[in-house]
Amino acid sequence: MRGSMFQVGGSKLGRSGTWHPELGTRNSPTKGSRMRNTFLALLIVGVVGVWLRPAVGVGLEEQTQLLAAELRCPVCQNLSVGDSPSEMANQMRELVREKLKNGESPEQIRAYFVSRYGEWILLAPKRQGFNWVAWLLPFGAILGGVGVIGFVVRRSVSRSRAPGDAQLPPLDPRYASRLQAELKEWGQ
Amino acid sequence: MATWKKLIVPIAITPILLLLAYGFKTNPRQVPSPLVGNSAPPFALSSFDGGTTGLEQLRGTAIVLNFWASWCFPACFEEAPALEAAWRAYKDRGVMVIGVDIQDREADAKAFIERFKLSFPNGPDPQGRMSIDYGVYGVPETFFINREGKIHYKHVGALTKQMLQGKIEEML
């Protein structure tokens, strides 16, 4: 029971690696598989952490900043309430902070601002109805672009292959004898 | 395949052109207020002269609620005489004109009131709560609140005498 090996039901099993049919054991994990496992673990922790971040362990200031970053500053050009130094943005940040302090949820605060300013106040449109166009269009455009590139590449590859598929004309006897002579010269 | 090739360019371009046409048709400065047609958010304003006024105590009165600032030139300067004239003309007919001074210095605001001899209640909104509650994003902005306490109309920019008269008459 050393390192990564541990005994289960009389057979030795590795924490990872492949099943070895002859030995009835798993191979001890290689450096590559260990790295892969570590990477996967870090990835899972990262994803879960990001997912849970707004729900737990976020301080009042951070939560205020996160919410303010989602709101459009009404008196600025394409700046969020979180980024704007304007007085109005400052007042809005204060209001967000106060509402959070009073126990209102981020959804309630978002809904409050939407009820006052309309959806315009949200920098990212809600994922509903016609707004899906704004969310999905970029991915559609990327997929379309990849499709066009794939189509062009496939066409050019098939065109370049086409002459190779055709039957080559018979070699001119003059060049054939010259080729033989030169090959002899090179000792082939 | 040839037909498809001919169609692909118009199919790709048409939605973009439609989107552009829609964009050119709309006024980027005009943001429709979701409050119009709904109940006006309650407020309590302490005026510069020491009095207080609020929506609750004005039930049954048509209200012209004007958001302004002394630095808002020329729009606020242009509309101030029209607001004072409307107040004098309609105050005995169940109409209240209220000024809310936002993002301003008290001395400058008082000087503005003195300059235009404004006699209707005017008060500051120091924390910006009232302006945020009304979805204000600039000055001047004016809300016409009918006798039922619902927002009848919102105007962005300087008011004129005719506009004020028309909207007040609609509420009476």
In this predicted structure, the answer to whether residue A48 has a pLDDT above a threshold of 80 is no
- Choose from A31-45, A126-140, B21-35, B106-120 the range with maximum mean pLDDT: B106-120
Across the interface, whether the CB atoms of A88 and B127 are under 8 A apart is answered no
Angle at which helices B161-171 and B75-90 cross, to 10°: 40
Across the interface, whether the CB atoms of B31 and A117 are under 8 A apart is answered yes
Q: Could you tell me where the beta strands, DSSP code E, fall in chain A?
A: 5-8, 11-14, 19-20, 25-26
Interface of B with A (CB under 8 A): 31-35, 41, 103, 127-129, 131-138
- Report the C-alpha gap between B119 and A177 in whole angstroms: 115
In this predicted structure, the answer to whether residue B69 has a pLDDT above a threshold of 60 is yes
The band of A96, judged by pLDDT with boundaries at 50, 70 and 90, is very high
Decide: residue B42, CB within 10 A, 0-12 exposed, 13-18 middle, 19+ buried.
exposed
- The mean pLDDT of A13-41, rounded to a whole number, is 55
Domains (range + CATH), chain B: 44-171 (3.40.30.10)
pLDDT at A27 (0 to 100): 47
In this predicted structure, the answer to whether residue A38 has a pLDDT above a threshold of 70 is yes
pLDDT at B137 (0 to 100): 87
- Minimal-distance CA residue of chain A relative to B38: A115
Across the interface, whether the CB atoms of B103 and A87 are under 8 A apart is answered yes
A49 compared with A127, residue with greater pLDDT: A127
Kindly provide the b/e burial profile for residues A125-134, where b requires at least 16 CB atoms within 10 angstroms of the residue's own CB.
eeeeeeeeee
B113 compared with B10, residue with greater pLDDT: B113
Q: What is the pLDDT of residues A98-110, one digit of tens each?
A: 999 999 999 999 9
The band of A45, judged by pLDDT with boundaries at 50, 70 and 90, is confident
Angle at which helices A87-101 and A106-117 cross, to 10°: 140
pLDDT at B121 (0 to 100): 95
Q: Which residues contact B81 (CB under 8 A, 6 or more apart)?
A: B116
- Report the C-alpha gap between A56 and B86 in whole angstroms: 54
In this predicted structure, the answer to whether residue B172 has a pLDDT above a threshold of 50 is yes
**How many CA atoms, within 13 angstroms, populate the side-chain half-sphere of residue A23?**
10
Q: Which of A169-183, B49-63, B127-141 has the least mean pLDDT?
A: A169-183
Distance from CA of B113 to the nearest CA of A (A): 22
| Vertex A72 angle, CA B27 and A49, to 5° | 145
Q: Could you tell me where the beta strands, DSSP code E, fall in A15-102?
A: 19-20, 25-26
- The mean pLDDT of B149-170, rounded to a whole number, is 94
In this predicted structure, the answer to whether residue A166 has a pLDDT above a threshold of 80 is no
Q: Which residue among B33, B41, B128 sits closest to A88, beta carbon to beta carbon?
A: B128
- The mean pLDDT of A145-154, rounded to a whole number, is 90
Cα separation values, A105 from A54, A108, A125, B77, B130, Å: 11, 5, 19, 41, 21
- Minimal-distance CA residue of chain A relative to B133: A116
